[in-house]
Chain A
Amino acid sequence: MAFVSGLKCRECSREYPAEALNVCDFCFGPLEVVYDYSTISEVISTDSIGQGPLSIWRYQDLLPANSQGRVDIMAGFTPLMKAGNLGKHLGLRNLYIKNDSVNPSFSFKDRVVSVAATKAVEFGFDTLACASTGNLACSVAAHAARAAIRAVVFIPSDLERGKIIGAAVYGPTLVSVAGTYDEVNRLCSEVADNYPWAFVNINMRPYYAEGSKTLGYEVAEQLGWRLPDHVVVPAASGAMFTKIWKGFNELACLGLLDGVEASSFGPDQNTVHHPAVTTRMHMTQAEGCSPIATAWKNGQEHVLPVRPNSIAKSLAIGNPADGMYSLRVVRASDGTAYAVPESEVVEGIKLLAQTEGIFTETAGGVVISGLKHLAESGAIKPDELTVVYITGNGLKTQEAVEGVVNPLSIKPTMTSFESALEERKSQEAGVG
């Protein structure tokens, strides 16, 4: 069962029942889930988690939906692998990759959508909906198929083909919107106000966002119930970034980390910072849409919205809902926020693929290039335990790396093959 007490406004602290709400009626601030941690602490343990399914639902006691009726396509429990080759390249001896690109619909969105879809079914909705630049649309369509309910997904008309097909194959009502980014955004907001659908990132948002905490839980569990010294995370709305931090602090307060005593959550569950959580949180964005990183660089508390113009479309949120809250996490954790030059995004994708055999999408290229910057600047020391989050699969954004295709084109003879091989060697020697 879910140990949820209700919802609470993050700005004015007004309380609401656990319903399909996302905004405070009084101040229009965002609503967050409130948990009954005293009951959770009585039932949860590292052993009970270890006996759970190999998906995000092994952490069911810390999720806001009832796991008995879960909509589960086995999201989560993705590999955490030591990145020796990439680490050597960057001068980092203790580098790990959390490879979330291998989720069922090939991005971390399966974590949040599994929770939102479960909650939507629990509330009795018959339609699951979203507005997306791709990954979310794929995940919503897949989970709706699993739950045998209708899916309606809105996408901008200029989306990459791989993402359109990746969503359409699950049979949703696919709405392709011709318009500027702001027009599409406004339209989708109005649709959400006028149709009784479960929009995963609007009226389901308090529940949906909690799914990202599992990215924090899993890394801690896979490291033997301890936390890394640094994490490097891509940011769009900033929600995932804040939830990884929340996940780390929940584990500490519940006494689930190795050698850490349980302690009170204090007056505000969503901003609690346990002293044992010393992980430095580093956020990366692509320069063409970097409102949070820009605010951090300029020392501002608020995020000035921008019009996105970035190759990293899955991170292209110009007015990030959790921007201000993620800035607070950067500061509380003594972390950083870095805007990666657009020209370095593809280099990051290639570097990860060619050192560790992982093909990530543009968001992953942003993270790897951001990691490179952190290593070169000395923000991350060579022996510090560092985890980078790879959140999406490269097969969805193949257009970004088409330039890598440069085959040896030959006739079906040994002579032709050996001649072409020699020519390539000479070219490479010349370049070298």
Chain B
Amino acid sequence: MGKQRVKFTFPTTMVKEPVIYRLGHDFNVVTNIRRADVREEMGWVVLELEGEDSEIERGLQWVGSTGVRVDPVSGDVIEG
């Protein structure tokens, strides 16, 4: 079992979609929301995921395929 801290950013078209519910339901991943701000034009959610590493990876790939952006919690770690 592993844990991963991630930030999801929802574009306008995905704001109303139950992505986090489906991540927990369709994959064997526990989702734990720590901070969020959802508005009409966009939304972001900072959360911790717990599960087998391979299952978290599979779940995150699915989240990315929906159009929701997945990032490390501290933003981009690549600097100039």
Contacts and interface: CB of A to CB of B under 8 A. Distances in A.
Given A11-B35, A22-B74, A302-B37, A136 B79 contact: yes
Contacts, number: 102
Interface in B32-62: 34-35, 37, 39, 41-42, 44, 46, 48
B18 interface: no
A205 interface: yes
A429 to B, nearest CB: 41
Contact of A132 (B5, B37, B74, B79): B79
A305 B69 contact: yes
B35 A302 contact: no
A315 interface: yes
A284 interface: no
Contact of A320 (B34, B42, B73, B75): B75
A317 B41 contact: no
Contacts of B26: none
B35 A237 contact: no
Contact of A134 (B7, B75, B80): B80
Nearest to B64: A182
Output the residue of B34, B46, B76, B78 with the most chain A CB within 10 A: B78
A152 to B, nearest CB: 13
Contact of A321 (B5, B46, B48, B75): B75
Contacts of B77: 131, 185, 188-189, 192, 199, 201-202
A109 B80 contact: yes
Interface string B7-19: 1010100000000
Contact of A130 (B34, B71, B76, B79): B79
Contacts of A195: none
Contacts of A315: 80
A310 to B, nearest CB: 11
Interface residues of B, number: 25
B76 A185 contact: yes
Contacts of A319: 7, 9, 69, 71, 75-76
B72 A186 contact: yes
Nearest to B60: A186
A194 to B, nearest CB: 10
Contacts of A26: 34
A236 B80 contact: yes
A132 B69 contact: no
Contacts of B69: 305, 319
Given A131-B78, A184-B78, 10 more contacts: A23-B74, A27-B34, A28-B46, A28-B73, A107-B80, A109-B79, A135-B79, A202-B74, A317-B78, A363-B80
Closest 5 CB pairs of A and B: A321-B75, A314-B80, A189-B72, A131-B78, A136-B79
Interface of A: 11, 22-23, 26-30, 107, 109, 130-136, 154, 156, 181-182, 184-186, 188-189, 192, 199, 201-202, 205, 236-237, 300, 302, 304-305, 313-323, 363, 392
